[in-house]
A and B are shown apart, each in its own frame.
Chain A
């Protein structure tokens, strides 16, 4: 049997408890809905993460292959000379997005196409262009995966937290409130019966006199 809440056996307390019960039931409904949404998002993010990870690995191997071919064609020193000039800082726009009250990071590579094209197009071949193109795609995939993995972690944490709240509501709070309300109701009924019995007894005594 669930533990009872410590309250005075008064009608006001009973009204308060009933209010608390209705609040708890409303919250339970919302939290359950939220949990189902978060779970749906979690599964979707998990699928996306797996997809993004395999895409990333594919792109990494393709980019390295293309880079090896370009290095073979130009020679390491010549290629390095060209690539040193093309070095620029990457710009990643970081923001937040909100899903059912949880804030998730949102990353986007800004001007992903520009930074890699700093080298001389006259002195280089299409092999280097191809390697640069694949590297750009690889960078975009890294940023995408970073966002997905962080979202995945945050969603898992939020689902755990929400599950704890749902369980607490379902197995502790609501049963306790129900038990206390029925306890108070029984107490009031008992009082009524005692009162009736007392009145009957008084009536009998008055009638005897």
Chain B
């Protein structure tokens, strides 16, 4: 067996690369988060609706999804809905939480899933199968957030 103590103390290039790779993974997972969210009413006025992500890239919204949101929300609610909606993935693998500011997200989620949902501690908790349904409907208007509780 290799005796690690007889060899040099320096970290091998492979090890260094590995460490960099791991740190890179941490950076990558939340790189697609928007710098700031936009209101639905503002996004509707844009020719190419999009938000700028934290890594400088752009995240485009589909007009069909925006049209669906417009159809289910009133004008006041459109001014209140921040986009993209953030889906937080916590330590519990079976659940996900939609971060919400008010009642408008609750309405959108409950209409989409056709079931009542409750907002507790600014989070709407849903299960993975429901998450798949939600993502099917809102491919571009929702983004994943890897919770700092897992990262740190």
Contacts and interface: CB of A to CB of B under 8 A. Distances in A.
Interface of A: 1, 3-9, 13, 20, 23-24, 26-27, 29-31, 33-34, 36-37, 40-41, 43-44, 48, 93, 95-103, 106, 108, 165, 173, 180, 183, 187
Nearest to B9: A8
A108 B60 CA distance: 10
Nearest to A32: B93
Given A30-B150, A108-B62, A99 B48 contact: no
A31 B144 CA distance: 13
Contacts of A34: 29, 146
A19 to B, nearest CB: 10
Nearest to A16: B11
Contact of B150 (A8, A29, A44, A187): A29
5 contacts: A4-B3, A7-B5, A97-B139, A100-B144, A103-B32
A86 to B, nearest CB: 24
A7 B4 contact: yes
Contacts of B131: 40
Given A30-B25, A30-B26, A37-B89, A95 B132 contact: no
B38 interface: no
Nearest to A94: B60
A7 B7 CA distance: 7
Nearest to B151: A30
Nearest to B12: A6
B136 A96 contact: no
Given A4-B2, A27-B25, A98 B132 contact: no
A93 to B, nearest CB: 6
Nearest to A29: B150
B59 A5 contact: no
B58 interface: yes
B72 interface: no
A36 B57 contact: no
A180 B57 CA distance: 41
B5 A33 contact: no
B80 to A, nearest CB: 23
A29 B151 CA distance: 8
